[in-house]
């Protein structure tokens, strides 16, 4: 049996290695604590970053400080990584204890320095967190100020809205006032229009009064011209023109039955007249010439009777002749058919000294009268009796006689010669004096009642003029009668 071995005494190097290993373990533990502290610092930094983000990133300085803290943490992490690497180197160097102790010591120093740096970085992070908190407080205060400003702005907006409402109400009141003013203006305008209309009515009444005055004066002048035409005195002539005091109505009321006297006709006679009328109308439709020419007796189909020239100055073809007054020649479509195509007719008149063309009116035409020789006093009146022409016409002058306007003319001392063109191929006149006049055809009772004159005056009106169209002056007529 072998003797027990004697335990070997540990050498001093082994003890040193153990101490070094223990120191390394302590260093590793310290490094772990530093790492944990760094992790806590990182977590705190993350919380600070989250708090900074929750603060709505209102402060750029806080963000920049957080960036610095993150950079410092990165440096600490890098330092920790270096420490870990150094620890690995220390472990590897433990195998070579003698050579690696120096490195371990150096690494421990580096670790201590790194820990110091980590502590310093943590202090900086804490300071940055404090700055971030202060910045957050400032941001919160700024937010409070902004909220207060918003409240003030809202209050100001409310005040502005209230002011706008008041302004709108004022505008509405102003608009209503304007409407009232416009309505008042309209009423004023309407009143002005009424006043203007009243003024116009007053002016028209004044014009009517003036016209009545002019008509009264013209009636006197017309009576002066009518009295020789009818061969009556001026007082009787003015009676024919009507009295201003005659207020009788235009409509006559008849008591009992109103009948018209006419020759009796039997039934056979009426049928015979109707047959003849229908036959005449049928023949006119069948025999009517081209271009509206009047068919006379059918002989126009056998030879050409279209003439273009007619001599109206020939005294032998006069249609009206008076030895004391003068003569009148007419030309229409009956004696010159070409006139029916142009719808014109002509009249040539030659009146002796002081000869009178009977008062008359054109029934179906207007007249354009040209004075060839001499002169005449011409008076034309409208439907109201107001003169539209009352003047002396001379040689070379022309005047117009409108349709349905009364006209009277009296030749001057040198006589009166004229040519008239009328706007109808068969122009007709209605005389007011002479044996073919309307007054000659009216019964005496009608004249006396219509014009409120004596029976003797009515007889003078009817029978004092045996002439027809061309009337002599009263002096020459009296000489001829004598």
Dist. CA 474–CA 229, nearest whole Å: 8
- Do 389 and 399 touch, CB atoms closer than 8 A? yes
Asked whether the predicted pLDDT for residue 327 surpasses 90, the reply is yes
**Shortest CA distance to 418 belongs to which of 338, 326, 321?**
326
Give the pLDDT mean for 76-102: 78
Q: What angle separates helix 234-241 from helix 455-463, to the nearest 10 degrees? A: 90
Q: What pLDDT score was predicted for residue 376?
A: 97
Q: What pLDDT score was predicted for residue 245?
A: 62
Dist. CA 420–CA 399, nearest whole Å: 10
pLDDT digits (tens, 9 = 90+) for 268-308: 767 877 887 788 777 767 765 544 444 555 555 555 556 67
Q: What pLDDT score was predicted for residue 290?
A: 46
Share of the chain above pLDDT 90, in %: 24
pLDDT band at residue 482 under the 50/70/90 scheme:
very low
Torsion of CA 35, 39, 42, 44, to 10 degrees: -130
200 vs 432, more confident: 432
222 vs 451, more confident: 451
Asked whether the predicted pLDDT for residue 479 surpasses 50, the reply is no
What is the distance, to the nearest Å, from the Cα of residue 102 to the centroid of all Cα atoms in its chain?
Answer: 113
Q: Provide φ and ψ at 308, rounded to 5°.
A: -120, -10
Domain at 315-476, CATH homologous superfamily: Jelly Rolls (2.60.120.10)
Dist. CA 294–CA 302, nearest whole Å: 15
Give the pLDDT mean for 315-335: 91
pLDDT band at residue 84 under the 50/70/90 scheme:
confident
Locate 233 and state its tokens.
């005195």
Q: What pLDDT score was predicted for residue 478?
A: 45
Please classify residue 7 by burial: count the beta carbons closer than 10 Å to its beta carbon, then call 0-12 exposed, 13-18 middle and 19+ buried: exposed
Q: What pLDDT score was predicted for residue 8?
A: 54
The least confident of 252-266, 326-340, 373-387 is: 252-266
pLDDT digits (tens, 9 = 90+) for 454-475: 999 989 888 888 888 999 886 4
Q: What pLDDT score was predicted for residue 480?
A: 42
Asked whether the predicted pLDDT for residue 168 surpasses 80, the reply is yes
CB count in 10 Å sphere of residue 399: 18
137 vs 80, more confident: 137
Give the pLDDT mean for 145-151: 85
Asked whether the predicted pLDDT for residue 29 surpasses 70, the reply is yes
pLDDT band at residue 481 under the 50/70/90 scheme:
very low
Specify the pairing of strand 367-381 against strand 398-401: antiparallel
94 vs 191, more confident: 191
The least confident of 43-57, 86-100, 211-225, 391-405 is: 211-225
pLDDT digits (tens, 9 = 90+) for 211-253: 555 555 555 555 566 677 777 777 777 776 666 566 665 566 6
327 vs 55, more confident: 327
Q: In the predicted model, what is the mean pLDDT of the chain?
A: 80
Q: What pLDDT score was predicted for residue 199?
A: 76
pLDDT band at residue 70 under the 50/70/90 scheme:
confident
β-sheet bridge partners, residue 327 = 321, 350
Q: What pLDDT score was predicted for residue 476?
A: 47
Dist. CA 482–CA 465, nearest whole Å: 15
Q: What pLDDT score was predicted for residue 63?
A: 63
């Amino acid at each position: 049996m072998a003797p027990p071995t004697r335990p070997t005494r540990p050498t001093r190097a082994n003890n040193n290695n153990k101490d070094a290993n223990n120191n390394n373990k302590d260093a590793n533990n310290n490094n772990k604590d530093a790492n944990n502290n760094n992790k806590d610092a990182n977590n705190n930094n993350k919380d600070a970053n989250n708090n900074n983000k929750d603060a709505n990133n209102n402060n750029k300085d806080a963000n920049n400080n957080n960036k610095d803290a993150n950079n410092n943490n990165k440096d600490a992490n890098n330092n920790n990584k270096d420490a870990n690497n150094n620890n690995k180197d220390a472990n590897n160097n433990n195998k070579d204890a003698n050579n690696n102790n120096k490195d371990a010591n150096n690494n421990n120093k580096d670790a201590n320095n790194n820990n110091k740096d980590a502590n310093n970085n943590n202090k900086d992070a804490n300071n940055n967190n404090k700055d971030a908190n202060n910045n957050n407080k400032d941001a919160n205060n700024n937010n409070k100020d902004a909220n207060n400003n918003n409240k003030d702005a809202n209050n100001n907006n409310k005040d502005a809205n209230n002011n706008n409402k008041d302004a709108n109400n004022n505008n509405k009141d102003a608009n209503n006032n304007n409407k009232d003013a416009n309505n008042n203006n309209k009423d004023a305008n309407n009143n002005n229009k009424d006043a203007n209309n009243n003024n116009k009515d007053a002016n028209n009444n004044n014009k009517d009064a003036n016209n009545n005055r002019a008509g009264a004066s013209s009636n006197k002048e017309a009576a002066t011209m009518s009295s020789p035409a009818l061969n009556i005195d001026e007082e009787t002539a003015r009676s024919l023109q009507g009295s201003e005091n005659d207020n009788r109505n235009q409509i006559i009321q008849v008591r009992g039955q109103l009948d018209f006297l006419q020759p009796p006709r039997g039934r056979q006679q009426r049928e015979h007249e109707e047959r003849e009328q229908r036959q005449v109308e049928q023949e006119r439709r069948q025999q009517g010439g081209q271009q509206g020419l009047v068919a006379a007796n059918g002989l126009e189909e056998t030879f050409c009777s279209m003439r273009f020239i007619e001599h109206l100055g020939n005294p032998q073809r006069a249609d009206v002749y008076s030895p004391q007054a003068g003569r009148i020649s007419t030309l229409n479509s009956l004696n010159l058919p070409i006139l029916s195509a142009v719808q014109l007719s002509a009249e040539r008149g030659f009146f002796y000294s002081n000869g009178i063309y009977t008062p008359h009116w054109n029934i179906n035409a207007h007249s354009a009268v040209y004075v060839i020789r001499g002169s005449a006093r011409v008076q034309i009146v409208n439907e109201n009796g107001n003169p539209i022409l009352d003047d002396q016409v001379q040689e070379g002058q022309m005047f117009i006689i409108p349709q349905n306007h009364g006209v009277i003319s009296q030749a001057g001392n040198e006589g009166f010669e004229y040519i008239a063109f009328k706007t109808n191929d068969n122009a007709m006149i209605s005389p007011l004096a002479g044996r073919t006049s309307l007054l000659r055809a009216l019964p005496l009772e009608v004249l006396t009642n219509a014009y409120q004159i004596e029976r003797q005056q009515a007889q003078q009106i009817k029978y004092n003029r045996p002439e027809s169209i061309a009337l002599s002056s009263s002096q020459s007529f009296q000489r001829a009668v004598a």
